[in-house]
Structure 1
Amino acid sequence: MRIPEETVERIRQAADILEVVGDFVSLKKRGSNYTACCPFHNEKSPSFNVNPSRQIYKCFGCGKAGDAVKFVMDIENIGYGEALRYLAKKYGIEIEEQEQTPEDLLRQNERESLLIVLNFAKTFFQETLLQTDEGKSIGLSYFRERGFTNPTIEAFDLGYSLDQWDALLQEGSRRGYSRDLLEKAGLILSKENNKTFDRFRGRVMFPIHNVSGRVIAFGARILKADKTQPKYLNSPETTVYHKSQVLYGIFQAKQAIRQEDVCYLTEGYTDVISLHQAGIKNVVASSGTSLTTEQIRLIARFTPNVTILYDGDAAGIKAALRGLDMVLEEGLNLRLLLLPDGEDPDSYVHKVGADAFKLYIRNHSKDFIDFKASQWLAEAGDNPLKRAEGISDVCASITRIPDPLKRQTLSQRVAQVFHVSEQSVISEINRLLRQQQDQRQKEAERQRDRNNRQQPAGGNPEPDASLEEINALLNGLSVDMPPDEAAAPPRPSLAATARTPLSFQEEECIRLLMNYGARELEPGITLCQYVLSELHEIEFQTSPYDLMLTLYREAYSRGEILLAHDFLNRNPAVVPNASAADMQHQAINLTTPRYEISDGWEKHEIFVPSEEEVKILAEAAWKNVLRIKKMLAEQRMVTLQQQLREVSSKTPEEADQLMTEFMHFKRIDMQISSLLGTVISG
């Protein structure tokens, strides 16, 4: 179904960029804007910028940029329509969709279809739990035994799958969902004999949500004693579900993680649910997988502080140690807590209550140095070799930390804990760092050798990505565009060819028009009027600046001056739909300054001239126009010189005409050089 344009505009107007981005990333105020570490690429220093006044975001590291709709598309890897529906739901906007044409249906994103069918399955399992005799007597009874209340069951969308071969398949078919789609979503299985049946049967269901709250998979626990069946069964990997990138409970926990500025990491579904019900809501689980780098980076969107809560048995200690170095490597601050032997977070919070559990965390959680040291010292006793092995092991973890200042501080801590000199600890850390660097160099050399062996003789290796994909990455644009845009042929990209000096001046001209077009340089003369009159009949040569200049001219002929928001909001009355995304991206680049003047300058009475001052702005516009004209004159001179070299094929009259024209542009070039103060004319 197609969303009417009026509804799209209502969604865009309602969506606040700070609220939308804040659902996925912890933002910090810097001047008039907000910053964070970019959620689209791995970085330690924040280069992701959100501008609330213009309602846009931009990463100066990877180039990703856009408005609230584009952010949802990028962060969730979904299509334009699905992003609009997400925002409509968030802001309570009802969508009365229009009937789609056959062409629209063909463009329907498979990812969106899978999310829809997974949501159907979630609802089906919920209704089965609460409305069927089997669901209430088996599934609901189990949840009650675990102490889960109705609000908790509702918050986590818990459900139950009937102990029947094809209950979900039959209901899905009745609702119009194809078997192929149900199978791609991981909900049904097909055997070679054409036998098709439900994947989940006779199990309590734990839906797995992504950060935005969409169900992307299921975990399921069997309740009857059947040694032929695994106790827990999870959805397979699909287009929408990659288990290494997902944390169970992240949707329910993200706000609490941000508020508490710490994330508690556990192992199981019921650990998360029980702690959440007890009021400890900043908790997630790796849900049956070993902790991964992607999961750690997901936590880092909301807080730099992680406390691992694992069982106190040998398996819990092993799991905690396994994830320790990975957390440190991502630059997060880590603490670890082992519960009393025989207890897990679920059982212990039920045993002692929420307040006592929080107190236990506060009193017994350790930083990774104390945690590792306690394990090694208990094992080493009076054995000096074991103590040395323990010191080396702790130092190896410190080398994982990217911040040198942190490494220096922690080396002092290791020396105190193991009662050795700080210099010996620093020497060991440096030795391990050199060893790691040598290993990386050797691996790089081996990789180069492998690449050389694989490269065909006399040829170049095949590219890993298409030119369109490379250009999309360079421009920070997603290849997944709204339907109307996806059908249009791509415009030439600035990144596709080397930039000419003229292209930078054309870009500067559009930047001035976009930011200051309506400003008066003198009474009655706006910057837009001045620039357009000076560039009369001059056409830009770089896309999309040529089209943007045309749009400014057309608007000015109607008595209007285009503003930045016309491009940022993709105003359909101004911006052609086929070029809207490209021009929006360019508008973000041209209106988002990377740096801001510090308040400290004014505090110390150091005043930096602002471009917004009329005198400075007028000079900037004047010089920009002169440089464009100068470069066009130089271009024409180069063409005339080439034609003069072919003088043998021309009559004397034609040669004289070419020379006269060349000298004309040479005089223009010299005059402009003089005005600009250029010593040597090109």
Structure 2
Amino acid sequence: MRIPEETVERIRQASDILEVINDFVSLKKRGTNYIACCPFHNEKSPSFNVNPSRQIYKCFGCGKAGDAVRFVMDIENIGYGEALRYLAKKYGVEIEEQEQTPEEFLRQNERESLLIVLNFAKTFFQELLTDTDEGKSIGLSYFRERGFTNPTIEAFELGYSLDAWDALLQEGQRRGYSLDLLEKAGLILTKEREGGGNRKTFDRFRGRVMFPIHNVSGRVIAFGARILKVDKNQPKYLNSPETAAYHKSQVLYGIFQAKQTIRQEDVCYLTEGYTDVISLHQAGIKNVVASSGTSLTTEQIRLISRFTPNVTILYDGDAAGIKAALRGLDMVLEEGLNLRLLLLPDGEDPDSYVHKVGAEAFKTYIKQHSQDFIDFKANHWLAEAGDNPLKRAEGISDVCASITKIPDLLKRQTLSQRVAQVFHVSEQSVISEINRLLRKQQEQQHKDLERQQRNAGNRQQSSSNTSNSPSQPSLDDINALLDGFSIEDTPETEIENAALSAPNIPQETRQLVRTPLSYQEEECIRLLMNYGARELEPGITVCQYILSELHEIDFQTTPFNLILTLFREAYNRGDILTTNDFLDRQSIDDTLIQQQAINLTTPRYEISSGWEKHEIFVPSEEEISILADSAYRNILRIKKMLAEQRMASLQQLLRESGNQTPEEADQLLTEFMHFKRIDMHISNLLGTVISA
């Protein structure tokens, strides 16, 4: 389905990139921009930069960049149209929906299709809960027994699946959803009948209360389901299988409902079960999530770190709860988060305890009884060790092992003092133990690296005895592309980029090959994009000056030459392009231009405001004299490098003097000396002592 251009423009104008990104990442103001740890790759120091004035983002770590629409596409792994619909819903922009044809539906990518059918299932289960006798008498009664109110049921979109073999299957087919799509979404199962014959297809969830699992943006991506009748042949809880939309190790139950409060309270409470989250949320403790019945994973911890660096784990007080807390402890520390742990009274879980004592008493209990990981582990070991000195030493080593997981050196040093106090040992002995464990880890990492290198060498030797895989480029593939090219008529960058466009080369290796000239071309485009309309003197803009000086010169780096051509075409029409003319482009080719525009207009660093307090003033590039000098020297460097490039070509031809007549050789030498004089003249203007 195509969204009209005027609607797209209304969505873009309504969208605020700070609000959009804040739904997924906690941003902190720095100067005129905002920063955060990038949600697209793992990092400890923030390199993700958001520019609210230009409505763009840029990560200086992984290179991701774009506008609000691109961010939603990347973070949710959805297409352009679906990202626009997400923003339209967020900002109340009405889209005139048109009935999709079967062909249009098939053109959507698999993940988008799964999200649509999962949303249908969620609504279907909700209607069964509230609109059917079975749903009300069984499902709704169960939620009422748990104390869940209507607002809570609506907030978590709880539902019920009928105790029938194919209720959802029949409704899904009536709505036009294929069996294949319903099965890929994990909603139905297909099995062979005993003794052969036709296959049997039926609903995965039958006679269960339904807990939809949402992603960060609130889309339903899976379901958890609890059976209410006693049936030894059925598991008590049943979850959706892994799909293209759902990877359980990357999801936290309740994160959509909790993210704003996590950000406001600057702490996330981590539990184990669905009802723990729902009961605490209803009691007013809304910054709570659950690991969805799985062991805590690194991806889940990183998801929390988008919103807060502080985690408090709430687990049952029994042996299983202690074991679970200890298992996740080191993983949280390794990701650089601040950790506290709370064990509830024996026999209690967060759900039962908050109902027993109430919200305020529960909050008070958290404040009084939560412990940092050192106290938690120390109490566990001291209770187990008693008077046994060997057990006590084992406990100290175990706590020190957890400290080695912390990436921050200053934190490790501070915590070593705390361990010494708790165990009544010298701080030096603790530091020595931490250093011993760190050396041991480094030795193990070194051994693992050597083993990987040996294995890689063995695989390479093995592969050399077989033909090249179609997905891997061979030297012959690249050399074939170079046949017919010569130095004198083909720039180095063009040759290398032609080689990199070989169909057998994996996408991730197709990166722009940089030459010294390409950096000067990039700088020229940066000046055009940032200052093209600025006047260097009355009536002479940066754009006019640069384009006149580069008359009949084309750039050798493809994306930069494309942008230069766009500036020339616009200038010939009487226009000067601005950054926004590049940021709003959305076709496949234009996306590359958009990425370059963001790269060239987003500064990585800002001058601290504290410098002005000390009367330290740094000249700004926006000052006309500095801007004029930058443009002047950039053009000189481009012309100098072009001269050097031509000289290198002429030298190569002169070495092959046997292929030319004396007259031709003299002509080549005369041309070489001409470019040599140009090179030396530009070197003098630039103040270069030695010319290349």
TM-score grouping bracket, smaller chain normalisation: over 0.9
CA distance in 2 between counterparts of 1:635 and 1:347 reads 77
Distance 1:390 1:464, change over 3 A: farther
Post-superposition offset of 1:104: 5.4
CA distance in 1 between counterparts of 2:185 and 2:333 reads 35
Q: Is 1:662 the counterpart of 2:672 in the alignment?
A: yes
Q: Is 1:621 the counterpart of 2:620 in the alignment?
A: no
The answer as to whether partners of 1:165 and 1:201 remain within 8 angstroms in 2 is: yes
Distance 1:101 1:197, change over 3 A: closer
Render the CA deviation track for 1:163-214: whole Å, top value 9, x for unaligned: 0000000000000000000000000000013100000000000000000100
TM-score, normalization: structure 1? 0.93
Equivalent AA in structure 2 for residue 672 of structure 1: I
Structure 2 matches for 1:461-610, cutoff 5 A?
496=511, 498-570=513-585, 577-610=587-620
CA distance in 1 between counterparts of 2:454 and 2:657 reads 54
Distance 1:116 1:497, change over 3 A: closer
Partner of 1:340, secondary structure, is coil
Q: Could you list the runs of 5+ residues in structure 2 that have no partner in the other structure? A: 194-198, 474-504
CA distance in 2 between counterparts of 1:454 and 1:374 reads 49
Q: Is 1:276 the counterpart of 2:281 in the alignment?
A: yes
Distance 1:515 1:347, change over 3 A: same
Structure 2 matches for 1:257-656, cutoff 5 A?
257-457=262-462, 459=464, 496=511, 498-570=513-585, 577-656=587-666
- 2:130 equivalent in structure 1: 130
Q: Could you list the runs of 5+ residues in structure 1 that have no partner in the other structure? A: 468-489
Structure 2 matches for 1:249-264, cutoff 5 A?
249-264=254-269
CA distance in 2 between counterparts of 1:349 and 1:673 reads 77
Post-superposition offset of 1:651: 3.6
- 1:91 equivalent in structure 2: 91
The answer as to whether partners of 1:2 and 1:100 remain within 8 angstroms in 2 is: no
Equivalent AA in structure 1 for residue 680 of structure 2: M
Partner of 1:195, secondary structure, is strand
- 1:486 equivalent in structure 2: none
CA distance in 2 between counterparts of 1:275 and 1:591 reads 45
Partner of 1:451, secondary structure, is helix
Equivalent AA in structure 1 for residue 452 of structure 2: Q
Equivalent AA in structure 2 for residue 24 of structure 1: F
Equivalent AA in structure 2 for residue 171 of structure 1: E
Post-superposition offset of 1:100: 7.1
CA distance in 1 between counterparts of 2:29 and 2:601 reads 18
Render the CA deviation track for 1:327-357: whole Å, top value 9, x for unaligned: 1111111001111111111111111111111
CA distance in 2 between counterparts of 1:101 and 1:159 reads 30
Structure 2 matches for 1:98-247, cutoff 5 A?
106-193=106-193, 194-247=199-252
Equivalent AA in structure 1 for residue 191 of structure 2: K
Partner of 1:191, secondary structure, is strand
Post-superposition offset of 1:450: 2.4
Equivalent AA in structure 1 for residue 522 of structure 2: E
Equivalent AA in structure 2 for residue 544 of structure 1: P
Partner of 1:503, secondary structure, is helix
Instruction: Please say which of residues 75-84 and 656-665 is displaced more in the overlay.
Output: 656-665
CA distance in 2 between counterparts of 1:460 and 1:302 reads 51
Distance 1:104 1:116, change over 3 A: closer
Equivalent AA in structure 1 for residue 609 of structure 2: D
- 1:674 equivalent in structure 2: 684
Distance 1:452 1:160, change over 3 A: same
- 1:54 equivalent in structure 2: 54
- 2:27 equivalent in structure 1: 27
Post-superposition offset of 1:375: 1.2
Post-superposition offset of 1:524: 1.1
Instruction: Please say which of residues 644-653 and 5-14 is displaced more in the overlay.
Output: 644-653
Distance 1:349 1:102, change over 3 A: closer
CA distance in 2 between counterparts of 1:138 and 1:493 reads 53
CA distance in 2 between counterparts of 1:663 and 1:279 reads 82
CA distance in 2 between counterparts of 1:169 and 1:555 reads 56
Distance 1:99 1:621, change over 3 A: farther
CA distance in 2 between counterparts of 1:665 and 1:627 reads 14
Instruction: Please say which of residues 660-669 and 555-564 is displaced more in the overlay.
Output: 660-669
The answer as to whether partners of 1:329 and 1:401 remain within 8 angstroms in 2 is: yes
- How many equivalent residue pairs? 655
Render the CA deviation track for 1:423-446: whole Å, top value 9, x for unaligned: 111111111111111222222222
Distance 1:519 1:287, change over 3 A: same
Percentage of matched positions with identical amino acids: 83
The answer as to whether partners of 1:263 and 1:284 remain within 8 angstroms in 2 is: yes
The answer as to whether partners of 1:2 and 1:99 remain within 8 angstroms in 2 is: no
